Chains A and B, each alone.
Chain A
Amino acid sequence: MEISDRELFTEQVREHHAGLRGFVRSLGVNPLWVDDVAQEAFIVAYNRLEEFDRERDFGAWLRGIARNLVINERRKDARRKRILSDNLTDVLLSTSSVAEDDEGGVGDTGLAKLNALRECIRTLPEKSLQMLKSRYEDENSAQKIAEEIDMKPPAVRKALERVRTSLRNCMEERMNLATSS
């Protein structure tokens, strides 16, 4: 394999790993297996790098590989499946696109979105941050979080929803700002 191919691949891993994981998750892959599927997509891409047409969008090609891996999951034995539900993945696949112009989707801007999101999280009040960490870092359910902080589960769900909405708005604002500047 050419050195330049490796360099290209290195660049692409840096550029796409965050977005690819979001894309994989958006197809209904079990959160525990998201990294695994995304890594497999990178490995397949690396092994087929010679087939990649440099005129094409690498991110879209990568997402196409990931999409096929997820499609294949449906054929697996239930115990080995990395998706939550065949039917759910079917419907999510039907609305998914690997194209780069997937408006508002999880395309090539994944890394920029992630960075924007990180900046937004820094502005969160302590309690919201604590709840968010419990949910997304420690993988606790709303029920568990409610027990931890002595709140009712619906209230925790509502609070998480508010935090998410605020973070999404913040992220989009920052993305828009970055685009306009």
Chain B
Amino acid sequence: MESRNPNEDLLQEFLNGDSSEESLRRLTEAAAEDPSLASQLASELEFSELIRQSFSGAEVFAAETFESALDYQEMTKDELIEKACEGSISREQSDQLVKMLWEDPVAAKELRDRLAFDEWLREAVSGSKREEAFLESLETRMWAETKEDHFVEDFTERLEKEIAAQEEATGNIVPMPPAFSRKRTTAQMNGVAAAIAVGAFFLVQQFTGGTGTEKSVATVAKSSIDAEWSNETLPGDEGEILPGRYELKSGVVSLQFVSGGEMTVEGPAVFTVAEDESAFMYHGVAMAKAGDSKNGIPLQSKGLRVSESVPLIGIDARGEHSTAAIAFSGDGGVCLPDGGKCRSLFEMEAVKADRIRDKFVAIPFDPEPFSKTWELLAGVEKNMGSVRIEPPGTKIEASDSLDGKNEVQVFVENDSFYPDHDLEVDQIQLGEFAGAETNPGQALQASGELRSYLLQLWPSEGGDGEEVEASLTFDHPVVGVIYSSDRLAESDHSVGTAITHVGEEFNSGRGLDSGSDQILLSDDRRTINLKLNGGDLEVDQIRVLVALN
């Protein structure tokens, strides 16, 4: 059998696009030493190019090109430039223009200036809309590409002020939107946490319907202590929400709808509620949770409407020209307004409806704008100390974002479930601190709807080992606490946790087994206080079960 020249193999590899760096280097060296190989290589490359061109079909248009050539000869340079700026220039006309410009560099410079001027005209005519869209889009891209680097809020905030000042000075054609959509910085979030740490949330008495002739569609179920309504749009004396327009100047409120859905709104916000229990957000941040009916609250903004109910959805309608939507739980669909395009919205997916471009843009999943609305929805009415309520969808895993801080993370593990058998929980004495140690446990009967929270203190390398204190008040009574490692592992399945780091080694030390940690459940079974040893090398986890009914 005839042996093949190794250079031929190298050449074929190259022509087939399979060359590695090494084989390309060898082929180059061989071609340098062997003129016939170099010649063959050149010939093959030329032929490859011919094959490529034959697919592009360039010659098919030859006649057409010739006819066009006859036409465009009658066009002047200015006409061609006009067409180029308009975007209606044909390929042949473009070639003709290019030929002219090469011969006349001054004209090329004129065209560049004209193109730039056109761009400014576009921007100037559209007022601040385009500027805002550009910056919002840049913001999104920077978030996507720089991930944790939260510099963007700083410049968006500054630009907002400066553009507003500019527009005030120049009296621009289009009024300035009230605010850019922006995300909170970590520092701001810490500020939020601090505000909550002094017990910001309190439960407002559960109201039952309006007293007027109009029927209320919802009631204010909870408010943060800083919640302030506009005087013109106050809810009824007993918190009833009649169909109409409301303005929440600050704080967070939770509205319980008659059909069972719950919506939390963060001020400043302007929204309307209709008789059919739909809500339209003109401005602000809102989260909506479907009730028992699972139909959800039909949410809308100027940028989008929720067309297919999502069990837990958030919309950020602070941007004048865009609305962001996140499906935190379950799938659904959203549409652009006025019969615009619709699209599916899958769990943990985020989109932005861009009103200027009239389209949806996929954006990074970022739950932070919803942190305050979520806290009210999560059922933690009050928290003090080193506590962080994790947004929905956060994986229960080792947290690398605590920056060496000892914080108790609170995960809503399972929002609602019915255990199919009794659960073994740890014994706990009401009303006094006690060491969390080995105990015989007790059975929690499988007799109703429960919600499960997982509290977690992750050992922090940068932590100073000091005791970590935390206090959490829930909106439903605590019926079971599980802090023993074995009971935590045993109850994982019943609870249906999304915990990601289970394993034999992990399970053996995840609870409060050392006896050095202390736990207290208040007499009314609503508040859990923790004193945890921050110097532990293993994670501390506590499962809290509350009864929803």
Contacts and interface: CB of A to CB of B under 8 A. Distances in A.
Do A and B truly interact? yes
Interface of A: 1, 6-7, 9-10, 13-14, 17-18, 21-28, 30-31, 34-35, 38-39, 42-43, 46-47, 84-85, 87-88, 90-92, 94-96, 104-106, 110, 113-115, 117-119, 121-122, 132-133, 136-137, 141-143, 157, 161, 164, 167-168
A132 B119 contact: no
State the main secondary structure of chain B at its contact with A: helix
Contacts of A24: 119
Interface stretch (B66-74, B153-161, B281-289, B341-349): B153-161
B97 interface: yes
| SS class, residues of chain A in contact with chain B | helix
B113 A85 contact: no
Interface in B124-172: 124-127, 131, 133-135, 137-138, 141-142, 145-146, 149, 151, 154-155, 158-159, 162, 166, 170-172
B506 interface: no
Contact of B134 (A31, A39, A168): A39
A157 to B, nearest CB: 6
* A-B interface, 3 closest residue pairs, ranked by CB to CB distance from nearest: A10-B155, A22-B116, A25-B119
Nearest to A39: B138
Given A10-B158, A43-B145, A88-B101, 18 more contacts: A14-B162, A17-B134, A18-B123, A18-B131, A39-B141, A43-B141, A46-B146, A91-B102, A105-B116, A106-B112, A106-B113, A113-B120, A114-B124, A118-B170, A136-B118, A137-B125, A141-B87, A168-B117
B119 A10 contact: no
Contacts, number: 159
20 contacts: A6-B155, A9-B155, A10-B158, A14-B155, A14-B162, A21-B123, A22-B120, A23-B116, A25-B118, A26-B115, A35-B133, A42-B142, A87-B94, A92-B101, A113-B120, A119-B170, A132-B125, A136-B118, A137-B126, A161-B82
B116 A118 contact: no
A27 B119 CA distance: 12
B98 interface: yes
B108 interface: yes
Contacts of B123: 18, 21, 114
Given A21-B134, A114-B123, A132-B125, A90 B98 contact: yes
Given A9-B151, A13-B138, A22-B120, A121 B112 contact: no
Contacts of A87: 94-95, 98
Listed residue (B119, B121, B162) with the most chain A CB atoms within 10 angstroms of its CB? B119
B32 interface: no
Given A96-B112, A118-B170, A118-B173, A136 B159 contact: no
B111 interface: yes
Contact of B108 (A25, A94, A114, A117): A94
B122 interface: yes
Nearest to A23: B116
Interface of B: 82, 84, 86-89, 91, 94-95, 97-98, 101-102, 105, 108-109, 111-113, 115-127, 131, 133-135, 137-138, 141-142, 145-146, 149, 151, 154-155, 158-159, 162, 166, 170-173
A142 B125 contact: no
Give the most central of A7, A46, A104: most B CB within 10 Å: A46
Contacts of B135: 13, 17
Contacts of A119: 170
Contacts of B113: 26, 104-106
B94 A34 contact: no
Contact of B115 (A25, A35, A141): A25
A43 to B, nearest CB: 6
Contacts of B105: 94-95
A21 B119 contact: yes
Nearest to A36: B137
B112 A34 contact: no
A120 B118 CA distance: 14
Contacts of A46: 142, 146, 151
B112 A13 contact: no
Contact of B112 (A105, A114, A161, A167): A105
